[in-house]
Amino acid sequence: MAGLDELLYKADSYKAEIDKKRPFKDIDSLKKLQDFYRVDFTYTSNALEGNSLSLSETKVILEDGITVGGKPLKDIYEAVGHALAYDYMFSLVQRDYISVIDICKMHELFYSMIDSCNAGKLRKENVYISGSRNNDKIPEHVNLPAEMGKLEGWLREDHEKIHPVLFAAELHVKLIQIHPFIDGNGRICRLVMNMALVQNGYPPAIIPPVIRAEYIETLESSWINSQPFYKFIAQQVIETEKDLMRMLRIPLDANGNSRGSARFY
């Protein structure tokens, strides 16, 4: 696999090619991008957490407003709530940075139909990540206001100091390690990460359920070494860019490179 610097260079090369077709700062282009990924991102992010809805079922629920028979009501609520949080995410892309209020609002939108009492609120009890080797490092609930305050300080001060893809990946790492909510932390982390990417002109990083094990393992290892997770997210950004380039009819060679990109593979 390519090194991190190579992956970032490739992601930037693809972004440059895409920007020639669709300037991401243009409101109309942002709306089209939003619509294009709304169903796919909702499906994949929920599926990573065990939601049983298929891509086509998610599409029917979100676009046609039709419920799917035989599916748990919670799974349907997760699809609708995630789409609402996703729409809110895109409403903030012109902002300079992400705030704790924004993060809590996303959780409120996602979780309100599932548990209105805890939606958008920092957890009031300690939690554990199933299968994690790092549960002893998750902050106790009494420390959450201070931890989220430190996160917002980092968001304000460092959002322009780090490569945008690394910033988005590190934001995911920091937020998942705080684990601020009683449930739904993974989905909110991916929403917030993708908000940071879109704010900087990149498409969302879509993580297919088929590579869930790699995603979980690199995220788990980030407690000690974040480099594998950085590379994982950079690769997902590249794959999403390639999908968007195909849609925009930007030529890719047999190795998946654009004509203007470096040939690393």
Summarize the confidence of residues 127-142 as an average pLDDT: 92
Q: Percent of the chain having pLDDT more than 90?
A: 71
Q: Residue 151 — pLDDT band, cuts 50, 70, 90?
A: very high
Q: What is the dihedral of CA 220, 224, 230, 233, to 10 degrees?
A: 10
Residue whose token pair is 């992010």: 45
Q: Residue 253 — pLDDT band, cuts 50, 70, 90?
A: low
What is the structure's pLDDT at 17? 92
Map out the domains of the chain with their CATH numbers: 4-121+139-247 (1.10.3290.10)
What is the structure's pLDDT at 248? 81
Q: Is the pLDDT of residue 23 over 90?
A: no
Q: Is the pLDDT of residue 206 over 80?
A: yes
What is the structure's pLDDT at 264? 27
Summarize the confidence of residues 33-43 as an average pLDDT: 89
Q: Percent of the chain having pLDDT more than 70?
A: 91
What is the structure's pLDDT at 32? 73
Q: Is the pLDDT of residue 262 over 60?
A: no
Summarize the confidence of residues 150-162 as an average pLDDT: 90
> Using CA atoms, how far apart are residues 162 and 245, in angstroms rounded to an integer?
25
What is the structure's pLDDT at 27? 55
Please report, for residues 55, 61, 109, 128, 184, the alpha-carbon distance to residue 66 in angstroms, rounded to integers and kept in the order given. Answer: 14, 5, 20, 35, 24
Q: Is the pLDDT of residue 219 over 80?
A: yes
Q: Is the pLDDT of residue 37 over 80?
A: yes
> Using CA atoms, how far apart are residues 4 and 25, in angstroms rounded to an integer?
26
Q: Residue 192 — pLDDT band, cuts 50, 70, 90?
A: very high
Catalytic sites, residue numbers: 179
pLDDT digits (tens, 9 = 90+) for 242-252: 998 988 888 88
Summarize the confidence of residues 46-50 as an average pLDDT: 96
Helices (H) then strands (E): counts for the chain: 10, 0
Q: Is the pLDDT of residue 71 over 60?
A: yes
Q: Residue 261 — pLDDT band, cuts 50, 70, 90?
A: very low
